[in-house]
Amino acid sequence: MRAERDGVVDANNDARECFIGLDLGTSACKAIAVDARGAIVARAGGEYPLFTPRPGFAEQEPSSWWRALNSAMKTLRAHLPRGEAVKAIGLSGQMHGLVPLDRADRVVRPALLWCDQRGADQVEAFTAKMGGVERLLALTSNRLWPCDTVGKILWLKDEEPGAYERMHRFLIPKDYLRLLLTGEHATDVSDASGTGMFDVRHRRWSKALLEAVGLSFEQAPTAYESQATTGRLLPPVAEAWGLSPGVPVMGGGGDSVVQTTAMGVVKEGPLGVTLGTAGVVAGASSACPVNPGGLLQVSCGNSPDRWHTMGVSLNGGGSFDAVRWQGFRRSFESHVVED
């Protein structure tokens, strides 16, 4: 028997064990608890604003993510069984973003998001510096796109040198939450694949790319496979959430890769289509695929022997909204003329 109220679904509250998934989206942080059979025990979420100070810019305050997550977990916890029943926590979230941190792990400036295009000029210049698209494909299996994390770092270096100098490490958005949960600077290989500095074929950071940007391995988060334990829940967080300290926090994955895996697209053949703000057509492979011309985005998959390939349009569901608005406007104007 399952009932939904206030954004929470109660299922089997007598479950002996459950698992929590956290997803850091562009507009909200979602939390879900499922039992060992995959049935939903509870879910909740918290929203936060997106700032666009200039055309092509998209920023968020990481502190707002943490507030939203704590709000969601407070709601979720009230509908969970015993705290010790939570066996693991997994993370997914928006890819390609940049969270710059200083030596004390304080956020240097607001995070630059996946849809932020400000680094386009830097990406073009850096591609030329590296010897062109074919050289990048040899290093990472991908060309560079304006949305990639590397373009944001290079923009910071050019346009906000003070912030760049204070940046001791960088994280991808969901991994900032991991840092607060575990104290670890870590990511997973699927999310790292979207930075533009990751050797997707060999599932490791590209030394050549990091050095060309001016970064060291120590400044990049440690990259784990999605199913690996990346750290354990810190006692203060566990106490605040009513959970047992030491709950393992797993690698998880970038949202575009995780959603394809969740569709069951894990072998060659089937394709998955996702239509959100952006539109994605994606497939899976048991070997790192060739990417002629770098027209697709190739990522590590959510298991060690899988890779993920996708074509992306940043204007997916947003295009339908535009068409719908145009239809409404024409209908409105025709009524005004008739009147």
Q: Could you please report the per-residue DSSP string of 240-254?
A: HHT--TT-EEE--EE
Catalytic residue among 23, 255, 305, 339: 255
**Torsion sign across C-alpha atoms 304, 33, 187, 229:** negative
As given in the structure block, the two tokens for residue 216 are 């060291």
Return the CA Rg of the chain: 21
As given in the structure block, the two tokens for residue 107 are 């956020």
Contact (Cβ atoms closer than 8 angstroms) between residue 148 and residue 297: no
Longest CA–CA span in the chain (Å) reads 68
Closest CA relative to residue 114, chosen from 58, 167, 64, 68:
58
The conformation of residue 51, written as its DSSP 8-state character, comes to B
C-alpha to C-alpha distance for 322 and 315, rounded to whole angstroms: 10
Catalytic-residue membership of 305: no
**Interior/surface letters 48-72, b for 16+ CB within 10 angstroms, e for the rest:** beeeeeeeeebbbebebbbebbbbb
Beta strands in 107-151 (DSSP E): 111-112
C-alpha to C-alpha distance for 253 and 191, rounded to whole angstroms: 6
The residues annotated as belonging to the active site are 255
